[in-house]
Amino acid sequence: SRWEEEKKEDGVKWMQLEHRGPYFVPLYEPLPEDVQFYYDGKPLKLSLATEEIATFYAKMLDHEYTTKEIFQNNFFHDWRKEMTSEEQEIIKDLDKCDFREIHKYFVDKNEARKALPKEEKQVRAGSYDMFLGPMGMLKKRIMPEDVIINCSRDSKIPEPPEGHKWKEVRFDNTVTWLASWTENIQNTFKYIMLNPSSKLKGEKDWQKYEVARRLKGVVHTIRAQYRRDWKSKEIKERQRAVALYFIDKLALRAGNEKEEGETADTVGCCSLRVEHIQLHPQLDGQEHVVEFDFLGKDSIRYYNKVSVEKPVFKNLQLFMKNKDPTDDLFDQLTTNFLNKHLQHLMDGLTAKVFRTYNASITLQEQLKALTNPEDNVAGKLLSYNRANRAVAILCNHQRSVPKTFARSMQVLQEKIDAKKKQVEEAQEEVKKAEEEFKDTEDAKAEANVEKKKKLLKRLEEQLAKLNVQATDKEENKQIALGTSKLNYLDPRISVAWCKKFGIPIEKIYNKTQREKFAWAIDMAGEDFEF
């Protein structure tokens, strides 16, 4: 297998690296004269810089982000900074801004672009422009002077755009990025990496899941250790042990993973405050229940009521004693202290590895429990999505109900109703054919019965498939299945399941995903165990 070739010396990622550098989009082209921005009901001609930023917001009008107050405030704050003094005097209220005409222009333009031949849509290694981050803050346009290039010393160094130069050129074969720069919102490094289907990227993915598989061999020892630490004389160790229990049992993030520009009050396990949990000695017939309610990564609400072990409950009572609601629950714990402990327990172990391990194990166990070998392909795929949904729920991968959901369900229901009618008509046809054969008993009438029965069977299978689709659609309307499938689930589990039950892999992974997981498709047989 090309994924298991010779190992390079420690730290060396490649021997030869040559590329053409990042693609910089052309400078902004103004909107056509007949596409206008309106303020307080009146058309207003904007300066070029102000208009460009207005187009970013206009493009996102149908996205849920633009309904959030924090997004609106951040955008308006950054937009006003780029306005001329005259524009700042006029534009003082985002609610009076009308971007609808601009939005329609870009929707139409996008539809026209979809119709272009494939080769006209393709560009080079990456395309980076000014745009809005998830919280509405303005990410500035990246210029060649901001970019560090990485390649082989003996390769042809990429040419910067005319009139520009690179910030720096490096020859570092211990990293896998091709270009790097610092973004303006949080001053963090950003990278252009290799395509997901590349051998280097595939190896990195494979190694990530192999680390999670190694955890399988020591997780029982780790669990025994944190249970012992619940009784430690050191409060710091008790807090670490309870936090680790939550990270393991509930797949919580450690707490230091805010998105760029995210100013919302988001927390993870280590940064939980007293106000984020309530303790119930008894609730809904269960003992020692902890009720969680906080905003996690990407401002997704985490709400869960879970029965915990008695020592965990007692420790939480101790941690909350004499504290205000806004005080830290784990006041003596930092993510750094936790991660050092995890490294001590197993090389390469982080909170994210627990998440990957628990997600993958859950998928594997759920697939074994839910898959019926006698089901048809549609039935097996329903079982797969249900197993995947169990993981998404564990990892709190939620989404808003899509705006098109009601309409698409209506269309699907109309198809089901029409198919039911066809089945009923086919049943009548079979009945008639059988009566005709009973009267005549000739070979032609007998053949007609078989023909009608085959048609009925095919229609019944089609109806069953549509019903499965409707069930699947309804069950997944608020669950984001893609996040865990692409980031936390060892793809070899899915590949093995497909091979074992004769499911085409393209039913699980689209073309891009199959390229990303080529290593797993190549490696995993039907007997693979995570």
| 148-153 long-range contacts, CB within 8 A, separation 24+ | 148/179, 148/180, 148/181, 149/21, 149/178, 149/179, 150/17, 150/175, 150/177, 150/178, 150/179, 150/180, 151/17, 151/18, 151/19, 151/178, 152/16, 152/17, 152/18
Question: Per the residue annotation, which of 57, 226, 488, 509 is the catalytic one?
Answer: 488
Residue with tokens 């004769």: 502
Alpha-carbon span 42 to 82, nearest angstrom:
21
Alpha-carbon span 450 to 430, nearest angstrom:
9
Alpha-carbon span 497 to 486, nearest angstrom:
16
SS (H, E, C) 319-360: HHCCCCCCCECCCCCCHHHHHHHHHHHCCCCCHHHHHHHHHH
CB-based contacts of 493: which residues, under 8 Å, 6+ apart? 360, 363, 364, 367, 524, 528, 530
Is 226 an annotated catalytic residue?
no
Give yes or no for a contact between 176 and 196, defined as CB atoms under 8 angstroms apart.
no
Give yes or no for a contact between 78 and 130, defined as CB atoms under 8 angstroms apart.
no
Q: Is 351 exposed, middle or buried (0-12, 13-18, 19+ CB in 10 A)?
A: buried
- Calculate Rg over the CA atoms of the chain: 29
Q: Which residues are catalytic?
A: 488
